[in-house]
Structure 1
Amino acid sequence: MENLSVILLFLFVLFTLLGSGVWVGLALMGVAWVGMELFTSRPVGDVMLTTIWSTSSSWTLTALPMFIWMGEILYRTRLSEDMFRGLSPWMAPLPGGLVHTNIVGCTVFAAVSGSSAATLTTVGKMSIPELRKRQYPERMVIGTLAGAATLGLMIPPSLTLIVYGVTINESITKLFFAGIVPGLVLAAMFMGYVAIYAKLSGNWAPASEPKLTFAEKVRNSRFLLPVICLILVVIGSMYLGFATATEAAAFGVIGALLLALGQGSLNWTTFTESLMGATRTSAMIALILAGAAFLSLSMGFTGLPRGLAELVAAWELTRFELLMVLLVFYIILGCFLDGISSVVLTMAVVEPMVRQAGIDLIWFGIFIVVVVEMAQITPPIGFNLFVLQGMTDHEMGFIARAAIPMFLIMVLMVFVLIAIPELATWLPNTLRPTTA
């Protein structure tokens, strides 16, 4: 009963602050401040400063702004046009045709950008006009783009995985490797849905593509070489143990700058715009992380995480039942908060439960990412929906309905992960990568 009172108090303060328009990071600090004042006699200001500094000065966190900057640089290049030209000859013969370029393009760009929004914008700005011109069903074009763009949260370098790893003090490199296979499986499930829909749908009649010889397809594939080389530099340096995630991020920025320079799209304006864009996003995430760290400390003084873990243990839930409770909880939370905020806000309470249940924290990181991916396409706060609305001028309701099949596929992916946990654990356990 005491734990329930504390939870209700924290939730009341949190939603009051969020409802009044306070930034998420400052709202978390406000809740933590109230908790410290009520449940401890320690000087709150000193504790807050110490906690914020120790969180913000983490070396592991250095990878975050570097990967964000890499994505910002690539967003300002001709990468989307080149990807479409390189992929379309190979995708056209498949059932579903060029709609697959949405999914494969998002998968490729996700491997060089940790942001779902950057992935969506980069791929969408080229694919939407081209697919419309070829008369593909609008709902399928919008839905696949909304769903596939969430792969930016899972396929490394993933900003959400970096935040999760920093929050629970786990190896970022291992988490990156854990996301590769599930990300590719989820992309394959999206493509399978498109193929089945194209075969069964009565209104699938896009314009036919010109036939190309194998040599012509290979020649068009040269447009993919720059981004493939960049993926090999970033992921390959970690795979071979040459670099930690932080060092690989630095390689990625250098590679992105060289790619932009080679395309002729790097000038002083694009350089400063990419730098300022990365600075704004990094500062926002760092503020959320600082607030979450202070809130975790405050919750520790209340004994709330330990009490809830003991309560859940007393319920004697099986691992599957606990995961189903967390699945529903995060889906509901995702309707009101973005993925990163959901992760940092809840980890102080959820982590002890997961540890006590004996769930692998690397695997659970991928579980969390799949679930918070859903938050990107669930109204009213689904960020991908807002981005697509700005790009297409469709009503929010139309975009949300178009994304429903992708949402259901992600739910199915959760059960696939539960049934086959090796999808997430095999690669990091096999490679034993550099831990940083």
Structure 2
Amino acid sequence: MNDIAVAGVLILTLFFILGSGVWIGLTLSGVAWIAMELFSSRSAGDAMAVTIWGSASSWTLTALPLFVWMGEILFRTRLSQDMFKGLAPWMQALPGRLLHTNVVGCAIFAAVSGSSAATCATIGKMTLPELKKRGYPEDMVIGTLAGAGTLGLLIPPSIIMIVYGVSADVSIAKLFIAGVLPGILLALLFSGYIAVWALRHPDKIPPADAKMSFMQKLDASRSLIPVTLLIVSVLGSIYAGIATATEAAAVGVMGALIISAAQGSLSWHSFKEALLGATRLYCMMALILAGAAFLTLSMGYIGLPRHLAEWIGSLGLSKFQLIVMLAAFYIVLGCFLDGISMVVLTMGVIMPTVTAAGIDPIWFGIFIVLVVEMAQITPPVGFNLFVLQGMTGRDLLYIARVTLPMFILMIAAVLLIYFVPGIVTWLPQHMSM
């Protein structure tokens, strides 16, 4: 059979098994086994055992469950209420006022979470009732929250970055550093949009709260000290070269437990729930990663990645055309799969093409995170949309519609990092690891 026929058989098999309701991780393993048995001379059984064991025992991957656990602990604290109290006084003078708490709150929590859904849910728990009570327009509140929640993937530590780093064999610490400036850029684009919208619709923004002196604002900001210290301890230890991503994740878990205990939120029940929540989430991720590792191996034996790279090379696409094609591919894929599945499913096939095109793998990692972020707010499988639907009770299509401006701003961010790649690459090149 030629490559197109083989690829067609495997893709049809993949979607048939997924459509049958089988778990994604098991589906990937099943398709990989079929591919090796039918289209290669290698025995599938021992290859599956060795690959899955190697994937599951990766030391680098240890950072993933630790960062997930840290986010689960913080999700069960009073952190969201304290953040609103500390941020609100500083937002009053900006056009759009407290709508900016969505963006700034998500940016801060993203630096200690790593998960888009957790960021969206935690900050939504804080801002949705407060902004509704104060009379802010619901479409702007929901739209900006859905968009800003995606910062949980871009601002390090990021679960997707860890998954990409392991799948593409790229330094996770360098990916974390590379995500800082693009994360700030995207947050500024969101806040800029809020400011422009507010200046065009001044009648829709409620009046400011009572004025506070500078010292009163500083006093209110004391509630931000714990989360600031946690960000500094986790990211600072990585950027200073003191700790690896895995060691910094352990520091983050300890810091989250200390914050939870200091706030009085730490009980045996909350500790157990956070641990079980992190275990469930990581087991799902680990199964997907193991299946994807086996699928990548089987694709290598068949030779599909090499042939795909050769075919794309024969098209004579420019680097920009290749990036546009990949962005469209991932956005469409994001309509059916979650972000982690998208990354692990495609890296084995896509990376040879990207490397052949001369694209920096660190830059490409940030690009992947941005397009996966877009998928978080596209129906029908947009995780942030699901989170907000559960929190607001609004229709999924309504939430997608009010989030559309944020989606367009993400496209603008992708274009900016393409034409000014230094936004991504400058920090990794100038910081010692």
Distance 1:47 1:308 in 2: 23
Distance 2:94 2:153 in 1: 26
Alignment of 1:330-349 (within 5 A): 330-349=330-349
Alignment of 1:245-260 (within 5 A): 245-260=245-260
1:432 alignment counterpart = 432
Asked if 2 retains the 8 angstrom alpha-carbon contact of 1:134 and 1:207, the reply is no
CA deviations 1:271-326 (Å, max 9, x no partner) are 00000001011111111100000000110111100001011111111110100110
Distance 1:372 1:252 in 2: 25
Distance 1:260 1:313 in 2: 53
2:77 alignment counterpart = 77
Larger displacement relative to structure 2 (1-10 or 78-87)? 1-10
2:299 pairs with 1:299: yes
CA deviations 1:190-225 (Å, max 9, x no partner) are 000000000112651314311101110011110100
1:111 alignment counterpart = 111
2:40 alignment counterpart = 40
Question: RMSD over aligned Cα, in angstroms?
Answer: 0.9
Detail structure 1 runs of 4+ shifted over 4 Å in the superposition.
Answer: none
Distance 1:8 1:272 in 2: 45
Alignment of 1:39-78 (within 5 A): 39-78=39-78
SS at match of 1:94: coil
Give the AA of the match of 1:424. V
1:130 alignment counterpart = 130
Give the AA of the match of 2:102. N
Distance 1:253 1:360 in 2: 32
Give the AA of the match of 1:145. L
Distance 1:432 1:345 in 2: 32
Asked if 1 retains the 8 angstrom alpha-carbon contact of 2:103 and 2:148, the reply is yes
1:25 alignment counterpart = 25
SS at match of 2:106: helix
Gaps of 5+ in 2: none
1:150 alignment counterpart = 150
Report the identity percentage. 61
2:232 pairs with 1:232: yes
Distance 2:393 2:257 in 1: 32
Change (3 A) 1:231 1:202: closer
Distance 2:78 2:240 in 1: 29
Distance 1:431 1:208 in 2: 42
Structure 1 residue 258: Cα displacement? 0.3
SS at match of 1:98: helix
SS at match of 1:93: coil
2:181 pairs with 1:181: yes
Distance 2:205 2:344 in 1: 45
CA deviations 1:92-118 (Å, max 9, x no partner) are 110010000000000000000011111
2:198 pairs with 1:198: yes
Alignment of 1:321-400 (within 5 A): 321-400=321-400
2:243 alignment counterpart = 243
Distance 2:222 2:239 in 1: 24
1:274 alignment counterpart = 274
Distance 1:95 1:205 in 2: 9
Distance 1:38 1:292 in 2: 18
Change (3 A) 1:90 1:54: same
Alignment of 1:150-169 (within 5 A): 150-169=150-169
Give the AA of the match of 1:341. S
Give the AA of the match of 1:423. I
2:86 alignment counterpart = 86
CA deviations 1:72-102 (Å, max 9, x no partner) are 0000000000000000000111001000000
Distance 2:132 2:86 in 1: 19
Distance 1:75 1:6 in 2: 45
Structure 1 residue 43: Cα displacement? 2.3
SS at match of 2:237: helix
Distance 2:177 2:260 in 1: 27
Asked if 2 retains the 8 angstrom alpha-carbon contact of 1:80 and 1:122, the reply is yes
Give the AA of the match of 2:326. L
Asked if 2 retains the 8 angstrom alpha-carbon contact of 1:135 and 1:207, the reply is no
SS at match of 1:208: coil
SS at match of 1:111: helix
SS at match of 2:22: coil
Distance 1:7 1:203 in 2: 56
Give the AA of the match of 1:121. A
Asked if 1 retains the 8 angstrom alpha-carbon contact of 2:161 and 2:369, the reply is yes
Larger displacement relative to structure 2 (287-296 or 32-41)? 32-41
Asked if 2 retains the 8 angstrom alpha-carbon contact of 1:153 and 1:369, the reply is yes
Structure 1 residue 429: Cα displacement? 1.1
